[in-house]
Amino acid sequence: MEYCKLGKTDISVSSIGVGTMLWLPNRNLSKDDLFKTYQKCIDNGLDFFDTAEIYGNGTSEKLLGEFMKKDGRKVKIATKFAPPSRMNPLTQKRKNVSKEDPAALMEALDGSLERLGVDCIDLYQVHMPPRNGRISEYMDVMAQAVKEGKVRAVGVCNFSKVQIEEAYKALKNHNIPLATVMAGYNVIRRYPESNGIMDVCRELGITLIPYAPLAEGTLTGKYRSGDRKVPLQYIVTSYFGHLDLTKERNDNVPFIRRLFSKPREVDVKRMEPLMAVMDEIAKCHDKSIAQVALNWLLSADDIHILPIPGIKSIKQADDNAGVAGWRLSKEERIRINHIEEQTR
């Protein structure tokens, strides 16, 4: 396994993270299954686990805390605070302060610390831009949390370029770096390349953490044959992004055209030329298509990228660990980028 630093901090983590959003035990996925997956991740050198207070209303954090205590090996934890936002207007109420108050961050942090069973969180992130626009005040509270020893590093998620810059400047006043920016980014979701997010990460030395790096399974190739249908939930969220309701696009495609067209990621026929090229490259390296998709992120040569694919099985833990220790060639990246552009 390869390891890297979070931004300009001294925190070293595995170059592939572990997303735990779906760590919600059910009839098809037991707590024991998830614990074995957790152990396999660590066995493979994957020591960076990402969770959030809103994942299962705290269930993911509780499980992660339970697994850490049971296993005993040291890992790095990232979790998130969700302020009321345009993306998540129904965020939970706080006990001691208004949920609109930046001080709610500290209350949420204390809740996460308790569920995780730790005294300090390695990376604490603001999950979404606050709808009240008080980014600098939230960063002041983050700085307080760092100074109190409850947080080691600070990150933001789903922020625009301007919002990232505001958060960075507010933290800089406390001599604290903005370590990470989390954004949707993968082979077919390329908005950070044109909306300024990657530019600001390069300029300020911030690590980019792509969520949904495998496009919810689309980039594993499992839907190519048509035997497995793209899940309805992913179709809905794909249209959400396709219509630019998240305001992350930076193109001139008219809204009416997007409204009456199908998102590429759920169009199996449209995706096939790209999947075929990635499959061919995968076979040359004796790797899977998913490993090629993740390595495409790792092999960017001018920015530090740390993908966090969701892992909920031993097989996925093995497959994702196989992304480290090799790199796509520049020619292979050019091939992937060329065919991706042709399928837009």
Other beta carbons less than 10 A from residue 203's beta carbon: 11
How far, in whole angstroms, is CA 151 from its chain's centroid?
19
Cβ-Cβ contacts under 8 Å for 187 (sequence gap 6 or more): 215, 219, 274, 278, 293, 296, 336, 340
The DSSP call for residue 122 is: E
Dmax (CA) of the chain: 58
Which among 183, 81, 170, 174 has a CA at the least distance from the CA of 124? 81
**Does residue 46 contact residue 16 with C-beta atoms inside 8 Å?**
yes
Strands lying side by side in the sheet with 121-126: 18-19, 48-50, 76-81, 121-126, 151-157, 178-184, 207-211
Residue with tokens 């024991």, as numbered in its chain: 32
User: Can you read off the two tokens belonging to residue 155?
Assistant: 């990150």
| Nearest-angstrom CA–CA distance, 42 and 119 | 21
Which residues are catalytically annotated?
55
**Does residue 307 contact residue 294 with C-beta atoms inside 8 Å?**
yes
Cβ-Cβ contacts under 8 Å for 214 (sequence gap 6 or more): 186, 220, 290, 293, 294, 309
| Nearest-angstrom CA–CA distance, 122 and 64 | 14
The DSSP call for residue 59 is: H
